[in-house]
Structure 1
């Protein structure tokens, strides 16, 4: 029997929900490209429940324990004395989410002598050292497409929120104010703007499709060019690189996976190539944008705004400069963990586990590393190497760091 170690984020501060705002979720059978939703043999949860927190357990406990497996769930993931570090030594399978990632570094792989598989309950396995996984013959899988549309919707919301100066205007009302001039002084329509996406995979393409009705000019860059008929349908302009694209754009949205080729892509030099007053939205991975360069560009006014929900590391230390920089719209990493998305990635995680235990092939779409190399979606989306360096800084979130004044 196997030991499954699962890392999930904490329950709400006021307790695990006993009721929810809505009674059901819309029924969806397929994703836009025709791929079917996860198809486990059964589920032991009600779609629409909070499954991604510790008490939600991804709806897996009954299934795993009925099979005689040991199931350990914790949110304590960082540092040498964490529950995760102690339990990892004899774990066969590790499950975690991008929103509260258990960073699987080479050092942790070396300690996990029984480890056979690492599963991302969601999309994006950059919190796992893919090189170390390949070298040790460990399978890495994720639930591809489960929250791509969730993230795309979040991107559009953040673009509009920045351009229309929504959050400061909301804060004005909360404070009892009615300062229309102050709120309007940073508010713009996006109609007619040039909007570009770095990567046009499932999320990037969905963003383009959702923005087209706003009558903006669309741009993209990707190492895999879209088919000509899709470019024509969207009216989108292709650029060979991000450096070529960003000078043309009023808004840039990052929708690329994190790997050595994209790490620190938006550094001081790349941001300097952007138009003065441009907006940058990053719901991909925090490490793609340079922490200090973003903060400096907002303070100088070169960027008009920065929004996103991804940080590095996660959770972000309490003195992280993105918490206090001006003109930002940052949130915790929530874009891909809506209750709608949780139902899909919980079901997909179970499908992966069923395949593993029954000796059946895991869907190619779900595979990132298998047989000592990048495989399936991993071979298409990632490059060899490791992007977990510096992740030990996540432990600082628990430290009582004062948040510096602006």
Structure 2
């Protein structure tokens, strides 16, 4: 059996930190295990174009592993060329880089390591909110450049306490974000989702469901996106929806870059519709050098809080998703389909029936 993994190159960082498992050099810790059973294991970061290693090796691959952080986009065309393909694994959470319809048609199993990133992403959301609201990035840039102008930073620095916080999506990550933010004593916490939380969970979180997204955005000082990417959320946050936001709100997106229209977000920052944007996710990934989010500024000329999709790949998360990837492949090799039900996206030509949290990132 041939297994192909598309990971990112880490260079010296992989030597410095052996638990940086999601990289080419450390190979999710799978090589010895797979080769010890007689399997071929190909690991690469080359994923673009007809001459890529991925395109060359997928032809006879039985299992392909990708990650959300350096995604190998598994298109219908690639699936058609992968005649032996039986299993697609996301080492992490989120399979929107895979053509699930094409996988279903071929009865290819698609699985991901559900829950491996939820704590890591929720912590990153809280960090980003504080970074934006307290105007941290301009303060840091100022002192690193040798400056000392308290007023220039303080003029746009606020507290989370007393603000209205809202999440689009309140699944595994969204709930954890609200739970952590409750300690900051916001004025109100709101959520928008296709279904309501149980009453006892709402009471514990101190959160209230709003049935109209427009109404929620008009009230919110801080908006965090914690929903999956699918056809109804692709391009959701566009010029039209941004016009519904409370003037000067902060927006944080750790879900998927394609949920936001990149040029519309940049324009909303420039005209003051948004006070700041904290983005960990981009489209495509890696983002091109001229992506507008790399250089966009708010109305004060300040930068935002941008990171290269690291929220779900802390060292602790990498250990979890590496172990989960191994478990998924072990279930496949056993031939008994003993997968964790929550890890399955599609199997046997159908979407899996499972409790699918609304922020399955």
How far residue 241 of structure 1 moved from its aligned partner, in angstroms, is: 4.0
The alignment status of 1:50 with 2:20, answered yes or no, reads: yes
Structure-2 separation of matches of 1:333 and 1:190? 24
Q: Aligned equivalents of 1:8 and 1:95: distance in 2?
A: 8
Does the aligned pair in 2 maintain the 1:197–1:219 contact within 8 Å? yes
The equivalent position to 2:343 in structure 1, one of 325, 345, 366, is: 366
Rate the CA distance shift 1:234–1:16 in 2: closer, same or farther, 3 A: closer
| 2:142 corresponds to | 172
SS at match of 2:243: helix
Which residue of 272, 279, 284 corresponds with 2:250?
279
Q: 2:197 aligns with which of 210, 223, 226?
A: 226
- Write the deviation string for residues 179-222 of structure 1: whole angstroms up to 9, x where unpaired: 11111111111111000011110000000000001001100011
Note if contact 1:198-1:255 (Cα within 8 Å) is conserved in structure 2: yes
Q: Which SS does the other structure have where 1:94 is aligned?
A: strand
- Map Cα deviations across residues 35-72 of structure 1 (whole Å, 9 max, x no partner): xxxxxxxxxxxxx7110111110000011001111100
Q: CA RMSD in A?
A: 1.5
Residue by residue over 1:235-285, the C-alpha shift from the partner in whole angstroms, topping out at 9 and shown as x without a partner, is: 211012433321110010000111111111111111110011001000000
TM-score by length of 2: 0.95
User: How far apart, CA to CA, are the structure 2 residues paired with 1:377 and 1:280?
Assistant: 30
Match of 1:355 in 2: 331
Unaligned runs of 5+ in 2: 298-302
Report SS of the residue matched to 2:102: helix
**2:101 aligned counterpart, secondary structure:** helix
Please name the residue that 2:3 is paired with: 4
What CA distance in whole angstroms lies between the structure 2 residues aligned with 1:347 and 1:235? 34
CA contact (8 A) 2:172 2:359 kept: no
Q: CA deviation at 1:355?
A: 0.4
Check if 1:189 corresponds to 2:165: no
Distance 1:331 1:221, change over 3 A: same
Query: What CA distance in whole angstroms lies between the structure 2 residues aligned with 1:62 and 1:270?
Result: 50
Counterpart of 2:206 (choices 210, 221, 235) is 235
Q: Which residue of 2 aligns with 1:329?
A: 305
Q: How many aligned positions are there?
A: 353
Which whole-Å CA distance do the structure 2 matches of 1:52 and 1:83 have between them? 18
Does structure 2 conserve the Cα–Cα contact (< 8 Å) formed by 1:11 and 1:53? yes
Q: Offset at 1:378?
A: 7.9
Partner of 1:338: 314
Matches within 5 A, 1:127-142: 127-142=97-112
Going from structure 1 to structure 2, the CA distance change for 1:377 and 1:98 (only over 3 Å counts) comes to: farther
Other-structure match for 1:42: none
Q: Taking structure 1 as the reference length, what is the TM-score of the superposition?
A: 0.84
* Aligned counterparts of 1:367 and 1:244: Cα–Cα separation in 2: 35
Q: How far has the Cα of 1:18 moved from its partner? A: 3.8
Residue 103 of structure 1 aligns with which residue?
Answer: 73
The answer to whether the 8 Å contact 1:200/1:222 transfers is: yes
Structure 1 runs of 4+ aligned residues shifted over 4 Å read 377-383
Output one character per residue of 1:323-353: Cα deviation in whole Å (capped at 9) or x when no partner. 0100421110100010010000000000001
Q: CA deviation at 1:224?
A: 2.6
Aligned to 1:394: none
- Deviations, residues 68-125 of structure 1 (Å, cap 9, x unaligned): 1110000111122111111111111110110100111111111111111110000111
The answer (yes or no) to whether the contact 2:137–2:304 under 8 Å persists in 1 is no
Looking at structure 1, the residues matched to 359 and 153 of structure 2 have their Cα atoms a distance apart, in angstroms, of 42
Task: Give the deviation of 1:158 after TM superposition.
Answer: 0.3
Please say if residues 122 and 142 of structure 1, whose CA atoms lie closer than 8 Å, have aligned partners that are also in contact. Answer: yes
Unaligned runs of 5+ in 1: 21-47, 384-406
Q: Distance in 2 between matches of 1:126 and 1:243?
A: 26
Between the aligned partners of 1:116 and 1:153, the Cα distance in structure 2 is 35
Q: 2:45 aligns with which of 62, 66, 75?
A: 75
Q: Is the 1:198–1:220 contact (alpha carbons within 8 Å) kept by the matching residues of 2?
A: yes
